[in-house]
Amino acid sequence: MSATRDITIGLAERSVKLIPRMPSTFVPSLIMPIFLVVSFSGAFAGLTQLPGFPADKMIDWVFPMTTLQGCAFAGVTTAMAIARDLDNGFYDRLIGSPAPRISLMLGPLLASVIRGMIPLTILLIVAVIGGANFNGGFPGLGMLVICAMSISFIAGCWGLGLAFRAKTQQIAPLMQMGLFTVFFLSTAQMPIQLLTGWIHQVARFNPITNVLQMARQVSLPAGVTWATTWPGFVSLAGMAAVLGLFAYRGLLKIVD
């Protein structure tokens, strides 16, 4: 058990140390959400005038979404590093070692969560500078932090599942496109009651919609309520279970 813990921590530490050593692999995933919060808040400011729009300022609506996106990209960039390790043979040496198999997956996932704290912190600072309201107070902030850490973990599972199967860095665009698509097929831009047609139906069944609803309690005037919290928890747990299994089965394919 202690071997699993030690190797998990060791691999996570290695992944985190890669950030200052190879900033080019992490910085773009940080810049993109910052840019999106700035541009969406500015470009779509007029949407708040729509009857039924739940935010007074566009930044209140946008920054929880871009924070989660930043955390998701942090998870995916961790998985991209594993894809590179698989590509250059480093991972084969890990498999050849007596390390507990599960730690080869838990290490990168722990790193995903730790790396996710960076966009979370920076985007919160951007939100404060941008004049966002924090109507949910500390409980709302807690909801955002839970969602952010969970999404980092879930995105890490998604990325690792793909990396273990493809064993090449060329899988990276699919990792990113998958995340991008699932976010924008939710209530990323508009609340569910203002979505019409096919996207309304897709967003209704997209678990990210529930997670965004939970995370947005930090800024929206309604504050934190159980009715908007529990669907988020269920969605996070469901995605973590499904994608965790996806990653684990991928790991089994390469170690067997």
Partner 1 sequence: MTAIVLEHYAALSRRSIMNIVRQPIAIIPSLTFPLLFLALNSSALARAIELPGFPPVDSFLQFMISSTIIQGALFGSIAAGSDMAKDIEGGFFDRLIATPVSRSSILVGRLAGSFVLGFVQAFIFFGVASLFGLNVAGGLLGMVGVALIGATIAAGVGAISVAIALRTGSTEAVQGSFPLIFVFLFLSSAFFPRSLMHGWFKSVATLNPLSHMIEAARHQVIYGWDTSQWLTGISIAGAILVGGVVASSFALRARLAEKV
Q: Contact residues for partner 1 (CB under 8 A)?
A: 28, 31-32, 35, 39, 41-47, 49-50, 181, 184-185, 188-190, 194-199
In the complex, the smallest distance separating the C-beta of residue 70 from partner 1, rounded to whole angstroms, is: 15
Smaller CB separation from partner 1, 162 or 195: 195
Tokens of 23: 């900033």
In the complex, the smallest distance separating the C-beta of residue 27 from partner 1, rounded to whole angstroms, is: 11
Q: For CA atoms 200, 147, 24, 7, give the dihedral sign.
A: negative
In the complex, the smallest distance separating the C-beta of residue 99 from partner 1, rounded to whole angstroms, is: 34
In the complex, the smallest distance separating the C-beta of residue 14 from partner 1, rounded to whole angstroms, is: 25
In the complex, the smallest distance separating the C-beta of residue 205 from partner 1, rounded to whole angstroms, is: 15
Smaller CB separation from partner 1, 48 or 229: 48
Smaller CB separation from partner 1, 62 or 149: 62
Smaller CB separation from partner 1, 10 or 28: 28
Smaller CB separation from partner 1, 32 or 222: 32
In the complex, the smallest distance separating the C-beta of residue 197 from partner 1, rounded to whole angstroms, is: 6
- Give the whole-angstrom CA distance, residue 8 versus residue 64: 30
Smaller CB separation from partner 1, 22 or 43: 43
